[in-house]
Amino acid sequence: MTFRPIRKAVFPVAGLGTRFLPATKVMPKEMLTLLDRPLIQHAIEEAKDAGIEEFILVISRGKEILVDHFNSAPELEDILQSRGKKDALAKVSESTLDDGTLQTALQTEALGLGHAVWCARSLVGDEPFAVLLPDDVIQNPKGCLSQMVETYNQYGGNVIAVENVPRELVSNYGIIEGENDNGQTIDIRGLVEKPAVETSPSTLAIIGRYILQPEIFGELARKEKGLGGEIQLTDAMARLLKNQKFTGLRFAGTRYDCGNKLGFIAANVAYALQDTDIKDSLRPLVQKLIGS
Ligand code: G1P
């Protein structure tokens, strides 16, 4: 059986990034760099590798620089060209998206992740699509979304990336309840946003990668407020679960939560330790720092 291809991806990037103030006072948190690329570029590249053709950024006031980052930079490119800086030139052109493939949807009020996704409804239209939260970075040779697309091509329906988390951390995540766990995929039977430790159905947390059917927009349109008075994507998925299949995928790779300082620094060290240019010099430096 073949399922409709996943061609579009939504990137909710309207958040304030308060955990990184003052760095994010004027600069969006998605422009913070992980090694040599901003977080948003990591997410876009993961999506591209998974076959995504259209990229939809859900932005708020002051986030236009996220669009500029993917525009061409002719003056800079001319200078690099005339100076023979081929590698730098390649890096600049790699970060330019093809004409007509990047679109934006405005989210004028911070009403929650579900609302952010709903803001992209007319750009997505009536087809299945991906959602990537750039804060969640997954380091793996095969990208997390590529793995999810494979799962989707097998099962259809909706696919959510999941990971086991320590029980004391369940209240930071959407948590799934599932069955038929074969160690890689799980049939999802329930979803709950940030449950208390005592009532959590499991320790399998939703990580910021989703493949969703367009019917999710009908659920989001109800604008029902959930935890924290926000329109939660998890709640809309929980309702859609009554009519549609949801599969959880335990993806391969290490996930870093770049939405907080510790996860962001850890991700930078992990990526730097794989970078051919600096890894050999960084290793002794890190060891020295730890030693002292
Ligand atoms: C959001 C979702 C949550 C999910 C998490 C993954 O929460 O609401 O279900 O587990 O992303 O990063 P947030 O981190 O925005 O509070």
3-state secondary structure of 167: helix
Cβ atoms within 10 Å, residue 265: 12
pLDDT tens across 198-208, in order?
A: 999 999 999 99
Q: Which atom of ligand 1 is nearest to 113's Cα?
A: 8
The response to whether residue 234 sits with its C-beta less than 6 Å from ligand 1 reads yes
Q: What pLDDT is stored for residue 53 in this prediction?
A: 98
Residue nearest to atom 7 of ligand 1 (CA): 173
pLDDT tens across 36-58, in order?
A: 999 999 999 999 999 999 999 99
Q: State the pLDDT confidence band at 1, using cuts at 50, 70 and 90.
A: confident
Q: What pLDDT is stored for residue 195 in this prediction?
A: 97
Q: What pLDDT is stored for residue 158 in this prediction?
A: 98
Q: Where are the domains of the chain?
A: 8-259, 263-292
Radius of gyration of the chain (CA): 20
**Average pLDDT score, the chain:** 96
128, 131, 129, 127: which is closest to 114 by C-alpha?
131
* 133/209 Cα distance (integer angstroms): 7
Candidate from 11, 13, 19, 133 with most ligand 1 atoms within 8 A of CB, to mutate: 133
Percentage, residues of the chain above pLDDT 70: 100
pTM, full prediction:
0.96
Half-sphere exposure of 214 (CA within 13 A, CB side): 14
pLDDT tens across 68-107, in order?
A: 999 999 999 999 999 999 999 999 999 999 999 999 999 9
Superfamily of domain 8-259: Spore Coat Polysaccharide Biosynthesis Protein SpsA; Chain A (3.90.550.10)
More confident residue, 144 or 15: 144
Cβ atoms within 10 Å, residue 222: 13
Residue nearest to atom 15 of ligand 1 (CA): 113
Q: What pLDDT is stored for residue 218 in this prediction?
A: 97
Half-sphere exposure of 8 (CA within 13 A, CB side): 23
Q: What pLDDT is stored for residue 148 in this prediction?
A: 98
When pLDDT is averaged across residues 16-23 and rounded to a whole number, the result is 90
Q: How far is the CA of 174 from the centre of ligand 1 (A)?
A: 6
Joined together, the tokens standing for residue 148 give 């999810």
Residue 292 in this model has a pLDDT that exceeds 90: no
pLDDT tens across 253-276, in order?
A: 999 999 999 999 999 999 999 999
pLDDT tens across 107-122, in order?
A: 999 999 999 999 999 9
Residue nearest to atom 13 of ligand 1 (CA): 173
pLDDT tens across 126-183, in order?
A: 999 999 999 999 999 999 999 999 999 999 999 999 999 999 999 999 999 999 999 9
Q: How far is the CA of 289 from the centre of ligand 1 (A)?
A: 33
Burial class (CB in 10 A: 0-12, 13-18, 19+), 2: exposed
The response to whether residue 12 sits with its C-beta less than 6 Å from ligand 1 reads no
Pairing verdict, β 204-212 and 129-132: antiparallel
C-alpha distances in angstroms, 204 versus 53, 118, 148, 164, 252?
30, 25, 16, 4, 15
When pLDDT is averaged across residues 25-35 and rounded to a whole number, the result is 95
Joined together, the tokens standing for residue 159 give 């696919």
130, 99, 109: which is closest to 10 by C-alpha?
130
When pLDDT is averaged across residues 217-238 and rounded to a whole number, the result is 96
Residue 63 in this model has a pLDDT that exceeds 80: yes
* 233/26 Cα distance (integer angstroms): 27
Q: How far is the CA of 206 from the centre of ligand 1 (A)?
A: 7
